[in-house]
Structure 1
Amino acid sequence: MKNRELTKLLKASVRPALGCTEPIAIAYALAKAKSELSSEIEKVEIMVSLNIYKNAARVGIPGTNYKGPMMAAALSLVRGDYKKELEVIENVTEADIKKAQAIIDSGLINLKVMEEVNGIYIETRVLSAAEKARVIIIDNHLNVVKTEKIKADLEFETYQIEVDRKNDFGAILDFSLADILTYIKEVPLAEIEFLQEGVDMNLKVAAEGLKTENSLSSKFEELIASGFLNDNLLAKAKMKAAAASEARMNGSKLPIMTSAGSGNQGVVNFITNAVVVEAKNLSHEKLLRALALSNLLTLYIKTATGSLSAMCGVAVAAGVGVSASTVYLLGGGEKEILAASLNVLGSLTGIVCDGAKEGCAYKVATAVDWSIIAAKLAIAGKAVPQKDGILAASFEELIDNLAYVCQPGMIETDQAILKVMQAN
């Protein structure tokens, strides 16, 4: 029973997405609302939480040179297909971009940031002369909790947003680290074979990014060529991960496999494990089981801390996930995984999320690099002391402490970050 539930959670939390998930989720919600109307749209209203806006404001929209939620929303009106979920605006053309820009210039779309609302909240409303429709998403990027259509002269009822709600993956918190480790040992390979698609997909984006001139990954290559960096597992992992992150943040037309709602978390999980397995000449089975471990732990941590928070999920969630899976790949067990988690959270905790953008590639590279080192230190018997700072003697207590620091601890930090971004 436990194994079936974990497979279900794993499959639900690993999904392909085109572009950064926050503006794309806005496009998805708007496309779904648009599909409810049978007459021409005259006005669009979009309300989003602080966290959604923060992650949508500065990020590239796939297939364009534009950034931000307005272009994502306008393209959704032009060609959005909600049935494609997080690939809702794939295959954008130049003609589509011109139409979208004309929509933005017309003032048809109004976007409001709900600064008092944290986490994932998206409400899209489309209005015509005869009718209007709205779609509301909370807690994860595809979790539609309300779809309704009414006559144009009526008003929507106020939707009561729950303050302390678990996200759609809350069941993951019913499992322990020991449960997850038992699962990755026992689960039939056929049930997790789908994870290979994430490796193939994300390495393809990395290959695209590695061809980009003056990119972060190209500078890593120069540092290797000059002898400043060694050409080893660490360098390859962070270079490929940075390349994939930078490409998608700048509007790559290629989809990425996400992890726990984040493309960059998916980049860290799939690429890091693939590079370690290749460098150590390990089996395909080892790769799949490592991927299951890292993605489930990423989901566990993001569910505990909140889908979106002021803390960088690449560092504290995917970072712990791939450090744990690296320990597994190097032959370590539960004791070493806890040690690796202490090493990651004893050092990377506090890296803030100041929105999705090109610079996320630097955080991705940092998380990948240190997570592998943290795993090697754990295997060697070295860990940050359990009583240091917010650390703890068990994995579950450690993540509980981290979650408390994130929410409620850093809610005001999130609001401060948004104010700085808006003034920048």
Structure 2
Amino acid sequence: MKKDNHIYQTYLSILSRELIPAMGCTEPIAIAYAAAKARSVLGCMPDKLHVAASGNIIKNVKSVIVPNTEGRRGIEAACAAGAFMGDEDAALEVIAHTTQEQRAGLGRYMEKTEITVSAAETNHVLDIIVTASKGNDSATIRVANEHTNIVQIEKNGEILLHKEAEEKADPGKPDYECMTIEDIYDFATTADLNDVKELLDRQIEYNTAIADEGLRKSYGANIGKVLLKAYGNDVRIRARARAAAGSDARMNGCDMPVVINSGSGNQGMTVSLPVIEYAKELGSSREQLYRALLISNLVTLHEKEGIGRLSAYCGAVSAGAGAGAGIAYLVTDGDYKSIIHTIVNALAITSGIVCDGAKASCAAKISAAVDAGIMGFEMYRNGQQFYGGDGLVLKGVENTIRNISRLGRIGMAETDKEIIKMMVGE
């Protein structure tokens, strides 16, 4: 694919937009970001905070530990952290660079600040409205559809910024719908690596570091450690364990950043760490690793575009299939058929995993999704595959992806509502 090709430039734009650092689970961090922005617009430290959030935000913030908050969980902690010590210009690293004094003072701030939460009346699965007040002054920030996409800023009733909170409203958003597996393969195998080296080096560095941290210390249910202890040191186990260990750390308060994919740090680790581990095992060159990561990242982004950022469909499933595609590229020296069959096989294996919010068990789901990606590849390598008509599988990788997208976005919409009701005790 030539560099001046429109699709080539679109893929570069998508990667630059998506492969960004984030510290902590992206949903509570998005609340912290909105709160930091609201405090900045207010112009002083608020003594009242209110968060109105969509059901999927509530679901994904309820159980996860917010980094740099001394082990606190939930919406109130995320909002208070953003308002009290957040850097409003740091996007998804909004509470990454805090001082010990700030962290120690957060509890006192929460004790004297009125913090309330409500369910937002919205049709958007990702919707956050934070209002910060002091005396007669107030400021409101609304973030919708993407974790740092501010669609409204208001101060004392005056609207300072407003744009439609629609998926396609951002004129600077690349055309994600142009992606196909065939074009992804063409791009990944021909791209000038100087165009993507910085992005991929950062993904390798950050995500490897947090996986090391997860295996070194005790976080959550220690899924990564359990895998290695129970099943040994084979590359198939190490690939699962390192992705799980990164999630162990991230879901349980680790303040190290990760490079995300599809707005999710868990998905960012799932698409990258298994591929990195296989590259080590195989003695792959740096170029081969880069190209495999381009496949794993873009395959996942393509799958997720049809599902949406948040849903009842576990995002690790898409990322596990993407990782399987990257692994297939490495093991077969870039065989296209092995990649497309790996994707279909993997999606057929784990298409029923639901998302019940961000928490410690995400690491176990990641392990299962990576296992499905590896199994999907091993099936094809051993002359086996799922065929069109096997459940949701249709003939052709794009048709199968469309079916999975329909399942996640439409078919599981009511499931999502029930999951949220159960999680909040209704």
Q: What TM-score, normalized to structure 2?
A: 0.91
- Of 249, 259, 274, 2:276 maps to 274
Query: 1:218 offset after TM fit, Å?
Result: 2.4
Q: Match of 1:371, as an amino acid?
A: G
AA aligned to 1:418 is: I
Once the 2 structures are TM-superposed, how far is the Cα of residue 160 of structure 1 from its aligned partner? 7.1
Cross-structure match for 2:222: 215
Structure 1 counterpart of 2:320: 319
Q: Secondary structure at the match of 1:100?
A: helix
Q: Tell me which residue corresponds to 2:3.
A: none
Match of 1:183 in 2: 187
Q: Please list, as runs of the form range in 1=range in 2, the aligned pairs for 1:56-205 lying within 5 A after superposition.
A: 56-63=61-68, 64-93=70-99, 95-114=101-120, 117-151=123-157, 162=166, 171-194=175-198, 195-205=200-210
Structure 1 counterpart of 2:187, one-letter code: Y
Mark the runs of 5 or more structure 1 residues left unpaired by the alignment: 224-228
Say if 1:209 and 1:115 are closer, same or farther in 2 by CA, change over 3 A.
farther
Q: Partner of 2:57 in structure 1?
A: 52
Deviation at 1:131, TM superposition (A): 3.2
The equivalent of 1:330 in structure 2 is: 331
Q: State the distance in 2 between where 1:93 and 1:72 align.
A: 16
**Cα drift, residue 136 of structure 1:** 1.5
**Structure 1 residue 107, shift from structure 2 partner:** 4.9
Residue in structure 2 matched with residue 414 of structure 1 by the alignment: 416
For structure 2, the residue ranges without an aligned partner over 5 or more in a row are: 1-5
Contact 1:170 1:303 (C-alpha < 8 Å) held by counterparts: no
Tell whether the 8 Å contact from 1:140 to 1:261 is kept in structure 2 after alignment: yes
Distance 1:159 1:285, change over 3 A: closer
Helix, strand or coil at the partner of 2:132: strand
Number of matched residues?
Answer: 415
Aligned to 2:13: 8
The one-letter code sitting in structure 1 at the alignment partner of 2:191 is V
Q: CA deviation at 1:385?
A: 1.3
Report the AA paired with residue 10 of structure 1. L
In structure 2, which of residues 372, 375, 380 is the aligned counterpart of residue 370 of structure 1? Answer: 372
1:83 counterpart SS class: coil
Aligned pairs for 1:334-345 within 5 A? 334-345=336-347
The answer to whether 1:250 aligns with 2:249 is no
Any conservation in 1 of the 2:38–2:83 contact (CA below 8 Å)? no
Deviations 1:393-419 (A, max 9, x none): 222222221111112211111111112
In the alignment, the residues of structure 1 paired with residue 229 and residue 344 of structure 2 have an alpha-carbon distance, to the nearest angstrom, of 33
- Is the contact between residue 42 and residue 138 of structure 2 (CA under 8 Å) also seen in structure 1? yes
- 1:148-186 deviation per Cα after TM superposition (whole angstroms, max 9, x unaligned): 3235xx799999755x76888661221221111111122
Write the letter of the residue equivalent to 1:143: N
Distance 2:338 2:409 in 1: 28
The one-letter amino acid of 1:100's match is L
Cα RMSD over matched residues? 2.3
- Cα deviation for residue 102 of structure 1 reads 3.0
Q: Closer, same or farther in 2 for the Cα pair 1:160/1:380, shift >3 Å?
A: same
* Pair 1:386-2:382 in alignment: no
**Alpha-carbon distance between aligned partners in 2 of 1:136 and 1:304, rounded to the nearest angstrom:** 24
Query: What is the TM-score normalised by the length of structure 1?
Result: 0.91
Match of 2:38? 33
Match of 1:308 in 2: 310
Cα drift, residue 349 of structure 1? 0.3
Give, in angstroms, the shift of residue 242 of structure 1: 1.2
Q: 1:412 to 1:80 in 2, by over 3 A?
A: same
Distance 1:399 1:360, change over 3 A: same
Deviation at 1:421, TM superposition (A): 1.2
Change in 2 beyond 3 A, CA 1:166/1:342: farther
How many angstroms apart in 1 are the aligned matches of 2:173 and 2:392? 25
Asked whether the 8 Å contact 1:29–1:136 carries over to 2, the reply is yes
Query: Whole-Å Cα distance in 2 between the matches of residues 59 and 251 of structure 1?
Result: 8
Partners of 2:392 and 2:225 in 1: how far apart?
37
Residues 155, 277 of structure 1: alpha-carbon distance in 2 compared, 3 angstrom cutoff: closer
For the 8 Å contact 2:39–2:45, the answer to whether it is kept is: no
Whole-angstrom CA distance in 1 between matches of 2:340 and 2:228: 33
Residues 161 and 184 (structure 1), Cα distance of their counterparts in 2 relative to 1, 3 Å cut: closer
Distance 2:271 2:371 in 1: 13
